Amino acid sequence: MGKQLADLAFSSQDKVLYRRKVRRCLDALAVMLDDCAFETESRMTGLEIELNLMDAEAEPAMRNAEVLANLGDPTFQSELGQFNLELNARPRPISGSGFAEHEYAILEALERAEDRAKKSDSTLVLIGSLPTLTADHLVLANLSANERYRALNDQIAGARGEQFCVDIRGVERLQSANDSIAPEAACTSVQFHMQVPPDRFAASWNASQAIAAIQVALGANSPYLHGRRLWAETRIALFEQATDTRSEELIAQGVRPRVWFGERWITSVFDLFEENVRYFTPLLPVMSAEDPFEVLANGGVPSLSELRLHNGTVYRWNRPVYDVMNGVPHLRVENRVLPAGPTVLDMLANAAFYFGLTRQLAEEERPIWSQLPFAAAADNFHIAARKGIEATVFWPRMGDVHVKDLVLDSLLAKARAGLDKFGVDPVHCDRLLGIIEQRCRTGRNGATWQTEAVWAAEHDKGLDRQEALHAMLLRYSTLQHTNEPVHTWPSPSLT
């Protein structure tokens, strides 16, 4: 969202005027999609990586303001919790050696940030949910010192009108309640941005939705929350519940949640923006002076800031993005399904699999979404979040199939074909997709390594759960800094 909000109070009239402005922006976008010259040649990609700060005892370190002040680097920003940071990697094409360039730049940036974090007696951790977090950490007082987070909290909590209740049933069960959106800070993700031309957006988004379950199964890295072993990717359930503005009655009425998989395949990017406007109440009615139609009439490109701000408060797992760069508008799919970590190399392997597979599926003559019911894609997504790399999903012409078999027998080849279309050098393609292949063959991803490590600490070393989680996280942090993929990490029972 990125807007700085200070001492703002929103009236009911503000929301009425803002809703009108958002709809005017939506009308302008419709005109632009018909008439404007969007960027169509560039195939830029980007990554946003959310990070955790922890201290020497593997406890969350509430020091992001101090670290950011010492870092002085605009590519790093605060995130919701004081123990969170976000790195916005510079966009670049992945053709040629683009992935290697991404890797070098991200590692170099993280090395700088790690150096500053050490000066604040903390270290960076790439993980989907910091397993040593407790309910006492996830409170309003520990939100970052940025007014946009307080304003967002006030609006979401006000819309809810009662406590946010979390009830996650996994291997174990967690029930909790909170007065704020602070528990969302436990959800740290990596987001992939893929720039696509308007006439290819629907196909790219549909393909992204179809494979979201496969991504989550392969990349799961959040098995613990508040000391409980829950889903392989608990972050999915927590994010859906911890920011749900709906009461039980509104849920029963079928009101859509703001954290949303969606409900149908689309034919245009306009479908998504229009649904966001039609279904979701504005949360942050901040108005600009821009009249988008006046800008268009004068030959300019409108920012559509109200539509973009509203879009940023609807948390689709694959979000549409409108942006303007150097006076030229473009569209992106923002893929938000994956957790951070375990290493930079693991995340880039996930990115290669996503970019390549989405490109290939989006350009096939008989698209996957013409064969896969949308409801099945949504069911697959939550099954994968629960079961991780051991999940069984429904897939066209295969029926129920283990994710590992589906990837090895079919999807890896398609991802490779898609990367070829991007012009990725074979050596980088082989390296990154090889990591995905070995994850499937070993059955080892971040979630399985974490659970094996905790089991070993409890059963082989006699530690209790909290001691085991702290020991696991310290070992995880050490191995993360090697940048070796998680499937190669030593067996926890042998360390």
Query: pLDDT tens, 439-492?
Result: 999 999 999 999 999 999 999 999 999 999 999 999 999 999 999 999 999 987
Q: How many domains does the chain have?
A: 1
Residue 494 is assigned to a structural domain of this protein: no
What pLDDT is attached to residue 8? 59
Whole-number Å distance between alpha carbons of 486 and 313: 33
pTM exceeds 0.75 for this model: yes
> Is 295 in a helix, a strand, or coil?
helix
Residue 159 predicted with pLDDT over 50:
yes
Residue 381 is assigned to a structural domain of this protein: yes
Helix (H) or strand (E) holding 51: strand 45-54
Q: Minimal CA–CA distance to 472: which of 130, 110, 89, 81?
A: 130
Continuous H helices in 243-341: 248-252, 269-279, 292-297, 305-311
Residue 8 is assigned to a structural domain of this protein: no
Mean pLDDT of 70-85: 96
The dihedral built from the CA positions of residue 445, 212, 334 and 438, taken in this order, carries a sign that is positive
What pLDDT is attached to residue 387? 98
Helix (H) or strand (E) holding 180: none
Distances (CA, A) of 281 to 159, 264, 277, 310, 493: 9, 20, 8, 9, 50
Q: Minimal CA–CA distance to 107: which of 344, 370, 313, 379?
A: 344
Residue 6 is assigned to a structural domain of this protein: no
pLDDT single digits (tens) 476-490 = 999 999 999 999 999
pLDDT single digits (tens) 224-277 = 999 999 999 999 999 999 999 999 999 999 999 999 999 999 999 999 999 999
Whole-number Å distance between alpha carbons of 32 and 10: 30
CATH number, residue 172 = 3.30.590.20
Q: Minimal CA–CA distance to 221: which of 4, 426, 479, 33?
A: 479
Mean pLDDT of 284-303: 95
Mean pLDDT of 45-58: 98
Residue 492 is assigned to a structural domain of this protein: no
Residue 96 is assigned to a structural domain of this protein: yes
Mean pLDDT of 129-136: 96
What pLDDT is attached to residue 2? 41
Q: Which domain holds residue 147?
A: 17-486
Residue 6 predicted with pLDDT over 80:
no
Residue 260 is assigned to a structural domain of this protein: yes
Residue 1 is assigned to a structural domain of this protein: no
